[in-house]
Chains A and B, each alone.
Chain A
Amino acid sequence: AQTVTQSQPEMSVQEAETVTLSCTYDTSESDYYLFWYKQPPSRQMILVIRQEAYKQQNATENRFSVNFQKAAKSFSLKISDSQLGDAAMYFCAYRSAYGGSQGNLIFGKGTKLSVKP
């Protein structure tokens, strides 16, 4: 079974600085998708960024980018120019490219990010 591990329960960053959140996963599959979700204090889960495993190029969405290391099974999220609104829980998630129940999302336990003004 696949697992997702976020080893940093809490992180802190100064406003305008850069922070990297770690995520590792375990799978024997070669084709899958990876996601980062943000959950602010409102508790609404928001999709931040996605990565297809077959793509070598790291995904980027404005100030958010990932470092996808397939061989190392690592999928870290980098937030540049951190803003107060980035303060939230961040969840890493894995999804198999195969159908059925294998296609369900598997979440890590999350990293709580604080942004200091």
Chain B
Amino acid sequence: DGGITQSPKYLFRKEGQNVTLSCEQNLNHDAMYWYRQDPGQGLRLIYYSQIVNDFQKGDIAEGYSVSREKKESFPLTVTSAQKNPTAFYLCASSFAGGLGEQYFGPGTRLTVT
């Protein structure tokens, strides 16, 4: 089955620790995205990548980092510099052209205490 996987579903960390969220897709999509969702908010774009070995900052990139070494994978690291890391994180992917509709993974709920 083609799709997007995110792991783990729930993640707990102590303040001051970096944590990496996994995102893998087997849809042969060119572009991948990371979003953050907070209660009462829409989705806010953290980082995106349209091709391997290249990525750009979204609207709220501070305190986050990414890599895109393979087409299928786009891990997100939440660093200790992120002031309010507790949130729901969604990964998405799409083809670069045309409608470019994005398909989403199941998300990771990160709690930092």
Which residues from chain B sit less than 8 Å from chain A, CB to CB?
Answer: 33, 40-43, 45, 48, 56, 58, 88, 90, 92, 96-97, 99-104, 106-107
Contacts and interface: CB of A to CB of B under 8 A. Distances in A.
Contacts of A105: 33, 43, 45, 102
Contact of A109 (B42, B48, B56): B42
Interface residues of A, number: 23
Nearest to B106: A44
Interface in A78-117: 91, 95, 99, 101, 103-105, 107-110
Contacts of A108: 42
B55 to A, nearest CB: 12
Contacts of B97: 99
A29 to B, nearest CB: 14
A66 to B, nearest CB: 14
Given A91-B43, A104-B45, A50 B99 contact: yes
